[in-house]
């Protein structure tokens, strides 16, 4: 589908994203981040980081320099960072930090997109782009496929293997929700390979996963002496889960590929 944006306009967005990565990940030191978190607005590192945000962005889009968009970018970056520091100071659970980091970066990227549209006067073009994407049957079918293998299939596999979990899994020997995320990631990869017709790569992926899982034999005698370890049960459980996961992703991909061939 043709895009309403030109290569030159897309280049500005790419340069703004490069500027963000440079300032947020390369020009920040651990010492500076700690100073921001401890002293907040009283920290020189906080204001210096905002200055870097504006300067690096201005240098990379120099020929398209515009005061207002770059000022909006700089101030919004400071506001988002300040909000992040305040929220992080109130958190008691370290696992919340990932959600906070993702939220922080999403807000930064959203502001970069808004500033980019301001610079190229592209809000009308953006509406035209979404007007072309949303009715796109082929794209929406693929999006539906990814949503299916991420959510409904996860519950289906969990339901079908639930009766064997207590026989082969010791919760003290596994990361929390690790199996769930491994399954989601493998189904997303398999579905992508089906869409691109790379069925050989699916075989390599299944083989590598099976090898890694089959050599993972927890020491049941130390952690659960009342339940003897069974290599056969573990192997069968791994194979059932793998075949269910891969099979669901492959069937979903093949069905969507078939729908895409219909006139």
* Residue 247 clears pLDDT 70, i.e. is over it: yes
Q: Which residue has the tokens 């993972």?
A: 216
* Residue 228 clears pLDDT 60, i.e. is over it: no
233-259: average pLDDT:
86
Identify the band that residue 218 occupies on the pLDDT scale cut at 50, 70 and 90: low
In angstroms, rounded to a whole number, what is the distance separating the alpha carbons of residues 209 and 186? 9
Comparing C-alpha atoms, which of 242, 248, 247 is closest to residue 152?
Answer: 248
pLDDT tens profile 1-52: 567 788 889 999 999 999 999 999 999 888 888 888 888 888 888 999 999 9
In angstroms, rounded to a whole number, what is the distance separating the alpha carbons of residues 148 and 187? 10
DSSP state, 64?
A: G
CA angle 94, 97, 99 (to 5 degrees): 130
* Residue 256 clears pLDDT 80, i.e. is over it: yes
Task: Give, for 131, the enclosing helix (H) or strand (E).
Answer: helix 123-133
Comparing C-alpha atoms, which of 68, 52, 76 is closest to residue 119?
Answer: 68
Q: What is the pLDDT of residue 237?
A: 74
pTM of the model: 0.70
Q: What is the pLDDT of residue 119?
A: 92
Given a contact cutoff of 8 angstroms between Cβ atoms, the answer to whether 173 and 246 are in contact is no
For 252, the token pair is: 């979903």
Q: What is the pLDDT of residue 109?
A: 96
189-196: average pLDDT:
93
In angstroms, rounded to a whole number, what is the distance separating the alpha carbons of residues 257 and 71? 47
Longest distance between any two alpha carbons in the chain, whole Å: 72
54-70: average pLDDT:
91
Domain layout of the chain by residue ranges: 7-133, 137-261
Which residues fall within 8 angstroms of residue 57, CB to CB, at 6 or more apart?
Answer: 15, 16, 19, 20, 23, 70, 73, 74
Which residues fall within 8 angstroms of residue 169, CB to CB, at 6 or more apart?
Answer: 179, 237
pLDDT tens profile 158-184: 888 877 766 665 545 556 666 778 888
pLDDT tens profile 100-123: 888 999 999 999 999 999 999 888
In angstroms, rounded to a whole number, what is the distance separating the alpha carbons of residues 237 and 193? 25
Which residues fall within 8 angstroms of residue 113, CB to CB, at 6 or more apart?
Answer: 13
What is the percent of the chain where pLDDT is above 90?
Answer: 38
Comparing C-alpha atoms, which of 46, 72, 41, 44 is closest to residue 58?
Answer: 72
In angstroms, rounded to a whole number, what is the distance separating the alpha carbons of residues 57 and 74? 9
For 52, the token pair is: 């870097």
212 half-sphere exposure, CB direction, 13 A CA radius = 9
pLDDT tens profile 201-214: 888 887 777 666 55
């Amino acid at each position: 589908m043709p895009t309403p944006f030109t290569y030159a306009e897309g280049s500005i967005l790419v340069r703004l994203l490069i500027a963000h990565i440079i300032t947020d990940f390369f020009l920040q030191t651990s010492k500076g981040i700690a100073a921001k978190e401890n002293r907040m607005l009283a920290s020189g590192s906080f204001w210096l980081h905002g200055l870097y945000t504006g300067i690096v962005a201005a240098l990379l889009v120099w020929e398209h320099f515009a005061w207002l968009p770059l000022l909006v970018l700089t101030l919004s970056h400071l506001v988002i960072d300040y909000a992040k520091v305040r929220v992080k100071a109130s958190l008691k659970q370290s696992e919340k930090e990932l959600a906070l980091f993702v939220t922080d970066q999403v807000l930064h990227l959203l502001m970069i997109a808004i500033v980019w549209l301001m610079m190229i006067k592209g809000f009308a073009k953006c509406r035209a782009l979404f007007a072309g994407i949303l009715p796109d049957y082929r794209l929406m079918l693929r999006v539906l496929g990814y949503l299916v293998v991420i959510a409904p299939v996860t519950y289906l596999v969990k339901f079908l293997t639930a009766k064997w979990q207590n026989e082969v899994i010791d919760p003290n020997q596994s990361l929390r929700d690790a199996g769930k995320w491994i399954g989601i990631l493998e189904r997303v990869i398999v579905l992508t390979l089906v869409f691109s017709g790379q069925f050989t790569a699916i075989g390599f992926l299944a083989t590598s996963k099976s090898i890694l899982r089959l050599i993972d034999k927890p020491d049941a005698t130390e952690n659960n002496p009342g339940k003897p370890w069974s290599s056969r049960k573990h192997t069968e459980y791994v194979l059932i889960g793998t075949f269910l996961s891969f099979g669901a992703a492959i069937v979903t991909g093949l069905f969507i590929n078939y729908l895409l061939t219909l006139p």
